[in-house]
Amino acid sequence: MKKLLLLLFVMGGCSAAFAQKTDLKKQPSFGFQFSFFDYKSGVDIQSKGLAAVLREKQLGKVQRMSPGITLNYMQGLTNNIDVMARVGFSFLKYPTRGVTTISQGDKFYSEIDANLNFKLLSDNYWVVPYLQAGIGASMERTNYMAQMPFGAGLQINLGSQVFLHLNTNYRVPITAKANYGLAHSFGFSVPFTERKALPPPPPPAPEPPKDKDGDGVLDVDDACPDVAGLAALRGCPDTDKDGIADKDDKCVDVAGVARYNGCPVPDSDKDGINDEEDKCPQQAGVARYSGCPVPDSDKDGVNDEEDKCPSVAGTVANAGCPEVKEEIKTKVEFAARNIFFTTGSYQLAKKSFAPLNEVAQILKDNPTLQLDVEGHTDNTGDAAKNQTLSENRAAAVKAYLVAQGIEKGRLTSAGYGQDRPVADNKNAAGKAQNRRVELKLRSY
């Protein structure tokens, strides 16, 4: 009983002194907490490790703890960082480091520290977890010691800036006699001053006289005195902002023009071009054709802008050009297989003239067709020379067809050397297949 009275007396004296000190600073909060000091578990964690202490189920046992009282001062530095100073008292057997004999009986123990609380949320949340770090000093009998507390806590908002605090920290010794320890506490913090009351709102401004709808146009001049409107329209509203008062507007929600009584100029075919500018008002079209649809000169279902053959009816799949008939493709492919050259040169053999004449006739009979001539070689000899040879052979076929009356613009030629074989170059038969000219028809 004497120990408890002594503890309460010391606590009361320090509380009064602490309050006097903080009254001179910014608006603080005062806290009172019940504490439980556990130096036995702290020493065990340091010597054995946390895992071993947990296995032995010694952590958190009440018989290992010494009760005490802690006073604190708190003040916010930012929305998420608080500074906190604490003074704590207890009676306990302190395990002075480096001393093997522990004194008999509990001795008066006091401590003071300064900490920063790093809150994960601001104080407008009901529950706020925080981390804590600081530095402090303690006294037990004639031993003066220093330590660093590291811990975590939970702050619960009870309203009006009153908080319930739950806190646990681990003390790391700095000086020689100080030892490792745990401290658990719970308690409250209360602000010193009340929150200032907000001033009452100013009285409402009186309404302007004789203006029932409050639109700034006096009723005597207001053509619509019961509905707020615009001064330019004598106090009448204009919902669609077209300059025509709603009372005179046949299309109140759509901006229009006066000659259509406030309605927009009509667009009969819904193509986005009004009838006054649309040359085809009953048929949807586009602006670049003055509201008329894009023309389709050959009536093949593909408009002239997308039709590769706008003057000849074709198919949609072939971009408006006629499809190449299979029988024509077959004839041209057969002719290609019968084009021959003098060995190692691009001189056409005479037996190539007849098939090429047939190709020329096909092109004359089908003026929409175009032809790509491709030259290829086997891999015999130098690759660069083969490339040149293939180009020259393709050009020779093109020149022959031009000589037969086919326009140059309908013909292309290209050589691919030995890069595109169709057979194995390791045998004579494969090489023969690779030495070829391909003729590819296009209808645009």
pLDDT digits (tens, 9 = 90+) for 24-81: 354 688 889 999 888 888 788 888 888 887 888 878 788 888 899 999 988 888 888 8
In a domain, 166, yes or no: yes
Say how far apart CA 74 and CA 190 lie, in whole Å: 9
Residues 145 and 173 sit within 8 Å (Cβ to Cβ) = yes
Domain edge (last residue) among 169, 191, 213: 191
DSSP 348: B
Residue 262 covered by a domain: no
**56, 58, 59, 62: CA torsion to nearest 10:** 160
Q: Is pLDDT larger for residue 6 or for residue 305?
A: 305
Residue with the bigger pLDDT between 265 and 267: it is 265
The CATH number of the domain holding residue 65 is 2.40.160.20
CA atoms of 2 and 53, how far apart (whole Å): 35
Do the Cβ atoms of 108 and 6 come closer than 8 Å?
yes
- The two beta strands, 411-415 and 436-442, are unpaired
The pLDDT tens digits for 199-223 are: 778 888 876 678 777 777 877 777 8
- Residue 39 covered by a domain: yes
Residue type (1 letter), 64: R
pLDDT of residue 26: 46
What is the torsion angle, in degrees rounded to the nearest 10, for the CA atoms of residue 363, residue 367, residue 369 and residue 371?
Answer: 50
The model's confidence at residue 299, banded by pLDDT at 50, 70 and 90, is: confident
Query: Could you say which of 157, 175, 191 is where a domain stops?
Result: 191
pLDDT attached to residue 2: 39
Which is more confident, 375 or 279? 375
Predicted pLDDT of residue 194: 63
Q: Which residue has the higher pLDDT, 393 or 248?
A: 393
For the segment 169-181, the average pLDDT, to the nearest whole number, is 88
At 135 the pLDDT is 94
pLDDT at 441: 93
CA distance 225 to 229: 9
Per DSSP, the three-state class of 202 is coil
Per-residue CA distances from 327 to 324, 330, 332, 335 (Å): 9, 5, 9, 12
**What is the distance between the alpha carbons of residues 126 and 302, in angstroms, rounded to a whole number?**
70
Same domain, 335 and 187: no
Confidence of residue 403 (pLDDT cuts 50, 70, 90): very high
What secondary structure letter does DSSP report for 287? G
Q: Which residues face 70 on adjacent strands? A: 33, 88
In a domain, 215, yes or no: no
In angstroms, the Cα distances linking 35 to 11, 89, 91, 347 are 13, 9, 11, 109
Q: Is 344 exposed, middle or buried (0-12, 13-18, 19+ CB in 10 A)?
A: exposed
pTM (2 d.p.):
0.39
For residue 43, tell me if it sits in a domain: yes
pLDDT for residue 427 is more than 90: yes
Rounded-to-integer distance, Cα 248 and Cα 228, Å? 16
User: How far lies 159's CA from each of 124, 259, 363, in Å?
Assistant: 9, 66, 95
Domain presence at residue 171 = yes
307 in any annotated domain:
no
- Tell me the pLDDT of the chain averaged across its residues: 82
Distance CA 440, CA 332 (A): 8
Position 417 confidence tier, pLDDT thresholds 50, 70, 90: very high
Range of the domain at 87: 2-191
User: How far apart are the C-alpha atoms of 37 and 179, rounded to whole Å?
Assistant: 12
Q: For residue 232, is it within any domain?
A: no
Look at residues 163, 191, 219 and tell me which one is the last residue of a structural domain. Answer: 191
To the nearest 10°, the Cα dihedral for 424, 427, 430, 431? 110
Q: Answer whether residue 307 shows pLDDT above 70.
A: no
Query: Percent of the chain at pLDDT above 70?
Result: 89
State yes or no: pLDDT of 416 exceeds 90: yes
What does the pLDDT look like over 111-168, one tens digit per residue? 999 999 898 988 888 998 999 999 998 888 888 888 999 999 999 988 878 889 899 9
Q: How many domains does the chain have?
A: 2
Radius of gyration of the chain (CA): 50
The dihedrals phi and psi of 375, each to the nearest 5 degrees, come to: -105, 140
Which domain CATH number covers 396? Answer: 3.30.1330.60
